Amino acid sequence: MVALIALERAGSVSVQAASPEQTRAGADPAAPTTAAPDPTTSADPISTEAEPTTTDEPLVTKLPSPGASYAPVREDVQMRLVTGDTRYVDLDQPLVNAESAAYDVAFSAGFAQPTLRFESADVAVGKSPTITPDECAQEIQLSPVDAEVEVSQDLVLCAVTNGLGAVNEPARTKMARIVINSVSKDNAVNLTVTTWEIPR
């Protein structure tokens, strides 16, 4: 009799003890559902804020006011761009076949009209092959052109460089004057580059 009563009490205890465990077990799955809205709500502002940072737009440089004094860096450097693979040109040195991090303009031709595609948005057509850097700055500020320009003989372009020149030179943005001297039948281009350091 005593044993039966003990078993009955043990059974009642086990049944009573199981019910709070079941309620706890039932409460555990509910916890993630209350925490689930947090990542979804926090993901929305992150995605919207990240969108403006991913852009392929060319960079724009702040240029000085008219009348600023530009120091010459390289004068009348002759360059030749031949067709075939795309040529990456560094206007700071100047240098053809520059490294990807340092180039300012990409030259391509093939069967189409040869083009120069600038990394900077600060590009303008110059009025003469003797245009000054100060005049170049005014043309860039008042009448810029697209970053990709079709090349033709006697075309004069003004462009701002990224400032990454030779290894032993400090990084300083420059104003470049590019004069297209000739375009051959096979679309090879001869040009003259002059650069000035942009005053800060």
Instruction: Please check whether residue 61 is in contact with residue 120, taking contact to mean a CB–CB distance below 8 angstroms.
Output: yes
Return the closest-CA partner of residue 90 out of 75, 107, 109. 107
Residues 6+ apart with CB under 8 A from 77: 94, 192, 193, 194
Query: Who has greater pLDDT, 164 or 56?
Result: 164
Tokens 């205890």 belong to: 13
pLDDT in tens, 87-145: 999 999 899 988 877 899 999 987 788 999 999 999 999 999 999 999 999 999 999 99
Residue with tokens 């067709």: 83
Measured between its terminal Cα atoms, the distance across the chain in Å is: 102
pTM greater than the 0.85 cutoff: no
Q: Which residues contact 132 (CB under 8 A, 6 or more apart)?
A: 70
Binning pLDDT at 50, 70 and 90, where does residue 57 land?
low
Q: Which of 21-30, 104-113, 147-156 has the lowest mean pLDDT?
A: 21-30
Query: Do 116 and 106 touch, CB atoms closer than 8 A?
Result: yes
Average pLDDT, integer, range 136-159? 96
pLDDT score, position 34: 46
Which two tokens mark 107? 């030259």
